[in-house]
């Protein structure tokens, strides 16, 4: 009887011991590295996962101007004809100033009646017609925007929607390569710093996750007036100064820890 009691007590003590060990394993501090497990049959590997960043500024090499020609006339035909005459004059002047036909593009054309409410008859009367033509001008000389705007206005343009600065396709490709190279180098530096702190060595790259490269373009540039030094009869020329484009790139890289 005593032997049975001793055996039962021993079993209870062993069970409690196993429970304590299990809890200790569950709540033990985890290492400051990410642990990834491969697919079925693969061995488990310790890894370090880091996020590399690249942030810098670059000067835009392309500008777009959206100039407007608006005409108000008594009839629709007159409004169209007057608008066409002014826009043709604007285009001819811009071509003479160095803008090619390929760099001029019509983005919108509208024609609508002007109306006035008649209180007595309680209906609208047509008082005339308005024609509006929006022309997009692209140039790879961002310092020439002010001069081209002056040429357009002097020859009949009477509205400016906006001026925006950006990167050409070729420069954007170069900037993408540079930003991703900087982001990957930054990720490597971070991983090496972590490995050194943990007292381990970096192994091969396990995975790379690329984020999109972001650009912060300025669609509302600074406008300034500068006194003309030439013989032009105007007192001032328009000067439009582009701002730098902010570039952001991110990349996630996972490194294996050497055993």
Tokens at residue 112, please?
Answer: 């609508």
**What's 159's DSSP letter?**
E
Spatial contact of 160 and 65, defined as CB atoms under 8 Å apart: yes
From residue 13, alpha-carbon distances to 10, 16, 19, 22, 110 in Å are 5, 5, 10, 14, 91
The three-class DSSP label of residue 79 is helix
Strands 214-216 and 222-227: unpaired
Structural domains present in the chain:
62-168 (3.30.70.2970)
Dihedral (C-alpha) 136, 141, 143, 148: value to the nearest 10 degrees?
-40
Query: Are 54 and 176 within 8 A, CB to CB?
Result: no
> With a threshold of 0.75, does the pTM exceed it?
no
Report how far residue 52's alpha carbon sits from residue 188's, in angstroms, rounded to the nearest whole number.
8
Query: Does residue 169 contact residue 66 with C-beta atoms inside 8 Å?
Result: no
Closest to 255 measured CA to CA, from 211, 185, 198, 204: 204
CB atoms under 10 Å from CB of 130, counted, come to 16
* pLDDT tens, residue order, the chain (259 aa): 545 555 555 555 555 554 544 444 444 444 333 434 344 444 567 899 999 999 999 999 999 999 999 999 999 999 999 999 999 999 999 999 999 999 999 999 999 999 888 888 888 888 999 999 999 999 999 989 999 999 999 999 999 988 999 999 999 999 999 999 999 999 999 999 999 998 999 999 999 987 778 888 765 443 333 333 333 445 567 778 788 889 999 999 999 998 6
């Amino acid at each position: 009887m005593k032997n049975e009691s001793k055996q039962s007590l021993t079993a209870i003590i062993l069970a409690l011991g196993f429970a304590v060990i299990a809890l200790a394993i569950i709540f033990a501090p985890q290492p400051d590295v990410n642990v990834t497990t491969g697919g079925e049959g693969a061995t488990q590997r310790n890894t370090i996962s880091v996020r590399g960043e690249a942030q810098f500024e670059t000067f835009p090499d392309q500008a777009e101007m959206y100039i407007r020609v608006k005409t108000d006339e008594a009839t629709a035909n007159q409004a169209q004809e007057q608008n066409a005459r002014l826009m043709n004059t604007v285009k001819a002047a811009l071509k003479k100033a160095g803008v090619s036909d390929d760099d001029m593009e019509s983005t919108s054309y509208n024609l609508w009646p002007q109306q006035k409410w008649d209180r007595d008859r309680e209906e609208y009367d047509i008082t005339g017609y308005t024609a509006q033509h929006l022309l997009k001008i692209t140039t790879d000389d961002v310092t020439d925007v002010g001069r081209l705007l002056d040429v357009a206005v002097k020859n009949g343009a009477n509205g400016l929607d906006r001026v925006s600065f950006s990167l050409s396709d070729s420069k954007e490709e170069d900037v993408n390569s540079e930003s991703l190279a900087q982001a990957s180098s930054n990720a490597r530096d971070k991983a090496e710093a972590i490995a050194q702190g943990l007292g381990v060595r970096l192994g091969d790259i396990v995975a790379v996750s690329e984020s999109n490269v972001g650009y912060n373009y300025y669609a509302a540039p600074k406008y300034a007036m500068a006194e003309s030094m030439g013989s032009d009869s105007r007192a001032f020329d328009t000067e439009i100064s582009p701002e730098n484009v902010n570039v952001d790139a991110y990349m996630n890289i996972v490194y294996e820890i050497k055993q």
